[in-house]
Chain A
Amino acid sequence: MPNRKLTFRVFRHNPYDPQSAPRVQKYEMQETPRLTLYGALTRIREEQDPSLQFDFVCRSAICGSCAMLVNGRPRLACRTLIEQLPSRINLFPLPFFRLVGDLSVDTGTWFREMGQRVESWIHDSEPFDPDALEERMPNDTAQTIYELDRCIECGCCVAACGAAQVNPTYLGAVGMLRIARFLTDPRDDRADSDFFEVVGTEDGVFGCIGLLACEDYCPKGISLTTQIAYLRRKMALTSLRSSSNGKGASAGAQHAEKAKTAK
């Protein structure tokens, strides 16, 4: 039976309280079996300090709300078992994002902006016909798209990324994953060259300095560096093609190619 005395050192700051200054506060509690950080933080809030801010929604690693720095590593607090941690636990909010208070950061705003930047939706000119059968799709394609769609927007990849720390307009691994997802989807009409201006830049795939932390800290185990590499190759190729054929000459051919694979 685990029965350690746990010491939490938690970053505290309420930006809307003029009296608050960033500090680290210590909480102590007795360990109980099968405890996760979700259970521990909830207990601290209910029994010791009801002003402590943090975010949980699903508590089962599906919603991506509760990412924070646990002993220097970005991870989902709900899926962090206390028994796998030392008895001294340091908790900090995710870096990079704007602080809402204590362990809570504003990921929502950043991700919505990212979605707008990469136009994170299916670009399809055909209107939906409610009377028609669904368009057919090989199950393998559906599975591949699903694999790329598994991201839960927790923000670990961006918080762990050194490039994002020095370039606030950097798209982040998650943004590139999103582009890869729509590039793979046969229902989306966009071609490689349509993404070039968004991702073929230093705010995009060429701003990546290859620290590989995004993949190492992705709680869903998505192969982010593979996807970034895929985009890097595509964008490099697009730049070579467009310079030899003139701008955007390859777009038409690619549209055709995509339409063909979709069928």
Chain B
Amino acid sequence: MINTDVLVIGAGLAGERTAIELASQGFQVIIISLVPPKRSHSTAAQGGMQAALGNMAKSQGDSTDIHFEDTVKGSDWGCDQDVARLFVNLAPIAVRQTAAWGVPWSRVEPGPRKLPDGEVVQELLEKEGLIAARDFGGTKKWRACYASDGTGHALVYAMDNVTLQLGIEVHDRAEALALIHDGQRCYGAVVRDLRTGELRAYHARATVIATGGHGRIYGHSTNGIINEGTGMSIALDTGVVPLGNMEAVQFHPTGVVPGDILISEACRGDGGYLLDKNEHRFMPDYEPQKKELASRDVVSRRMVQHMRKGFGVESTYGPHLWLDIRHLGKKHIEVNLREITSICRDFLGVDPVRKIVPVRPTQHYSMGGVRTNIAGRAHGLAGLYAAGEASCWDLHGFNRLGGNSVAETVVAGTVVGKSIARDLEWLDFPYSEQAVAAMAEDTTQMVQERILRLRAGGKEYVYDLRNQMSNVLMEKVGVFRKGAELQEAVDELAELCQRSKHLGLRSSGVGANPEVAAALRLPGMVRLAFLIAYGALKRTESRGSHAREDYPFRDDIHWLKRTLARWAPGADLPTLDYEPVRITEMPPGDRGYGESKVLAVEEKVRA
């Protein structure tokens, strides 16, 4: 057994930031990660990191208050306002600290500047050399700090470099498969080495889950291959830790087919068309005013609606639609839409100057996760913490603002790190190390038995089940949700849950066998999928990214609350509880964008 003060599961931005905070206070930290830290999915965050620095002409007068407002509105009043307040206050410090750690943030260049829409702004001389920002959807001011076209990459590299500096041990190619706990407190995790296939136990006084999102349970996701929600599912497996708001899943309208690489909003913003299988531009039929420029979730919904009517293009990779930017001209495409052009050319072999690009809506972000309090402590289990996309700290509520996720990882990492340090110093209570060793032994045994059972051979094949699960989610719990379909999804996923108990291997399963890894993950993934469908079925309103066709209104009377899902070990079904959302500064109101109406107002009128 390996002993340490703190075990951090996941080496993305949130995990590493937490580790840095603790190591710099003198605690021993071990990070375990599926992949080397610099390969984490955090690197893919290209957009920016939101922080109210107010250095640009278009961000004059920006403040943490406005950032707070944008965040709460973005969340459709689903977020915890104490958390949002803490977050917006700390975000500027977080950005500046990463600057000191070496992130080459793009800087303000004074002088006049012409914006794409023709407006000319004057960047101030007094702001020269300070951190610049750019525009991002859903914000009043320009607030997304960026490092050229690789914000996530630059941040991850700077962060990982600091872990090197502090000599933090990183055990890469390792996957946590179960938490060691006694129902009261968490004592570490049992981990499978993905080099050798061996199991080993880590005993830690504090355990942090920072494993990122669960995007890959959907068939089509912009998330990395490794984002399979492993951290969420091991927390769920304890039976005492609830996952919050799992039904809150964000979609992006334009992922390319195949590969699901995200094409940024710019393609529609600059005047691209969406075409169906007859190369007919269908968006004006649905949204005569805004057409392709309607908001992300609306466009995604209309695309799915149109494909369901049979207008999707059939392909080996499933139905899709076309994106057409040819009419923008070669020069515009190659200069202003350079990133999109290179994605199309490099990963599809399609030249967008001459050809139409296959796209479809794809899963993008999971707002839900391990429910924690404002200090990052997981509900239900002492000594367990969570940070980043894996957690439901609840900064994002039902819809995340672009750029807030990157900022969240760094800020939450700091906050969680500090609270762990405090807890270890002041709240730690003595326990029997022998008892922990026995517990670790039991847990290891349990995981070992799971592997042996797989080797003994059940009749189900892991990739068949996974594809079925992904399809159910994609078709019935996607951007558009309807009671009857959700019920079907719940039934089908419940059946898949049962079938996932009878997985068997087709290969030998010796060593670092990838089939074993997939088969060990799958039951947890199916349970997460079930929670998403189940939570969505029960939530009879539309809020943020959760859009019910049969309940198109936001219902602040009944649903200003957060879903908490627990799954008792061995039980067939999870239990759902609800807790009120903390509203401190900003009462629910109109978002000022999007189509959803607010039920509260109408009901009041009727009453």
A and B touch in the complex (CB under 8 A): yes
Interface residues of A (CB under 8 A from B): 14-17, 19, 32-36, 38-39, 45-47, 49-53, 55-65, 78-79, 81, 83-84, 100-101, 104, 106-109, 111-112, 115-116, 119-122, 124, 128, 130, 132-139, 142-143, 145-146, 149-150, 152-153, 185, 187-188
Q: Does the CB pair A100–B195 fall under 8 Å?
A: yes
Q: Does the CB pair B129–A139 fall under 8 Å?
A: yes
Q: How far is the CA of A132 from the CA of B507 in the complex (A)?
A: 58
B350 within 8 A of A: yes
Q: Does the CB pair A33–B99 fall under 8 Å?
A: no
Q: Does the CB pair A121–B43 fall under 8 Å?
A: no
Q: Does the CB pair A122–B101 fall under 8 Å?
A: yes
Q: How far is the CA of A187 from the CA of B161 in the complex (A)?
A: 14
The one of A122, A146, A153 that contacts B150, using a Cβ cutoff of 8 Å:
A146
Q: Does the CB pair A116–B347 fall under 8 Å?
A: no
B residues in contact with A63, CB < 8 Å: 35, 38-41, 43-44, 224
Q: Does the CB pair B172–A108 fall under 8 Å?
A: yes
A residues in contact with B107, CB < 8 Å: 136-139, 142
B residues in contact with A34, CB < 8 Å: 257-258, 348-350, 358
The one of B36, B104, B129, B349 that contacts A145, using a Cβ cutoff of 8 Å:
B104
Residues of B contacting A: mostly? loop
Interface residues of B (CB under 8 A from A): 35-36, 38-41, 43-44, 93, 95-97, 99-102, 104-109, 128-132, 147-148, 150, 152-154, 157, 160-162, 164-165, 170, 172-173, 195-197, 224-226, 257-259, 261, 315-317, 343, 346-350, 358, 462-463, 505-508, 510-515, 518
A residues in contact with B195, CB < 8 Å: 16, 100, 106
Q: Does the CB pair B343–A149 fall under 8 Å?
A: no
Q: How far is the CA of A64 from the CA of B508 in the complex (A)?
A: 29
B residues in contact with A38, CB < 8 Å: 259
The one of B108, B128, B259, B315 that contacts A39, using a Cβ cutoff of 8 Å:
B259
Shortest C-beta distance, A30 to chain B (Å), equals 9
Q: How far is the CA of A100 from the CA of B172 in the complex (A)?
A: 12
B residues in contact with A112, CB < 8 Å: 36, 164, 170, 172
Q: How far is the CA of A136 from the CA of B132 in the complex (A)?
A: 11
Shortest C-beta distance, B159 to chain A (Å), equals 10
Q: How far is the CA of A145 from the CA of B36 in the complex (A)?
A: 23
Q: Does the CB pair A58–B512 fall under 8 Å?
A: no
The one of A52, A106, A135 that contacts B100, using a Cβ cutoff of 8 Å:
A135
Q: How far is the CA of A38 from the CA of B346 in the complex (A)?
A: 13
Q: Does the CB pair A81–B349 fall under 8 Å?
A: yes
Q: Does the CB pair A137–B129 fall under 8 Å?
A: yes
B residues in contact with A142, CB < 8 Å: 104-107, 147
Shortest C-beta distance, B249 to chain A (Å), equals 20
Supply 7 A–B pairs (Cβ within 8 Å), ascending by A: A33-B316, A50-B507, A62-B44, A63-B40, A119-B164, A142-B107, A185-B102
Q: How far is the CA of A16 from the CA of B193 in the complex (A)?
A: 12
Q: Does the CB pair B510–A136 fall under 8 Å?
A: no
Among A63, A138, A142, the most chain B Cβ lie within 10 Å of the Cβ of A63
Q: Does the CB pair A84–B349 fall under 8 Å?
A: yes
Q: Does the CB pair A139–B154 fall under 8 Å?
A: no
Q: How far is the CA of A64 from the CA of B150 in the complex (A)?
A: 14
Shortest C-beta distance, A134 to chain B (Å), equals 4
Shortest C-beta distance, B357 to chain A (Å), equals 10
Other A-B contacts than A59-B261, A63-B40, 10 sampled, CB-CB below 8 A, are: A50-B518, A60-B261, A63-B35, A119-B165, A121-B164, A122-B100, A139-B109, A149-B153, A153-B39, A187-B102
Shortest C-beta distance, B568 to chain A (Å), equals 32
B residues in contact with A32, CB < 8 Å: 316-317
Q: Does the CB pair B132–A152 fall under 8 Å?
A: no
Q: How far is the CA of A16 from the CA of B508 in the complex (A)?
A: 12
Q: A78-B347, A83-B349, A100-B195 are in contact. Are A121 and B162 (CB under 8 A)?
A: yes
Shortest C-beta distance, B98 to chain A (Å), equals 10
Q: How far is the CA of A100 from the CA of B257 in the complex (A)?
A: 31
B residues in contact with A46, CB < 8 Å: 463
Q: How far is the CA of A50 from the CA of B102 in the complex (A)?
A: 41
Shortest C-beta distance, A11 to chain B (Å), equals 16
Q: Does the CB pair B100–A107 fall under 8 Å?
A: no
Q: A39-B258, A108-B173, A121-B162 are in contact. Are A55 and B35 (CB under 8 A)?
A: yes
Q: Does the CB pair B104–A57 fall under 8 Å?
A: no
Q: Does the CB pair A150–B153 fall under 8 Å?
A: yes
Q: Does the CB pair B35–A108 fall under 8 Å?
A: yes
B residues in contact with A122, CB < 8 Å: 100-102, 161
Which residue of chain B lies nearest to A153 when distances are taken between CB atoms in the complex? Answer: B38
The one of B44, B161, B259, B462 that contacts A50, using a Cβ cutoff of 8 Å:
B462
Q: Does the CB pair A60–B343 fall under 8 Å?
A: yes
Q: Does the CB pair A52–B104 fall under 8 Å?
A: no
Q: How far is the CA of A143 from the CA of B104 in the complex (A)?
A: 7
The one of B41, B95, B196, B197 that contacts A58, using a Cβ cutoff of 8 Å:
B41
Which residue of chain A lies nearest to B164 when distances are taken between CB atoms in the complex? Answer: A115
Q: How far is the CA of A15 from the CA of B529 in the complex (A)?
A: 35
A residues in contact with B350, CB < 8 Å: 34
The one of A15, A58, A111, A133 that contacts B224, using a Cβ cutoff of 8 Å:
A58
Q: A84-B349, A121-B102 are in contact. Are A16 and B38 (CB under 8 A)?
A: no
The one of A64, A138, A146 that contacts B147, using a Cβ cutoff of 8 Å:
A146
Q: Does the CB pair A50–B153 fall under 8 Å?
A: no
The one of A36, A111, A132, A134 that contacts B347, using a Cβ cutoff of 8 Å:
A36
A residues in contact with B97, CB < 8 Å: 128, 130
Q: Does the CB pair A64–B38 fall under 8 Å?
A: yes
Q: Sorted from nearest, which 10 A-B pairs have the closest CB atoms?
A: A108-B36, A136-B129, A16-B511, A51-B507, A50-B515, A145-B104, A121-B165, A121-B161, A139-B107, A46-B463
Q: A57-B224, A122-B101 are in contact. Are A111 and B507 (CB under 8 A)?
A: no
Q: A49-B507, A130-B97 are in contact. Are A149 and B128 (CB under 8 A)?
A: no
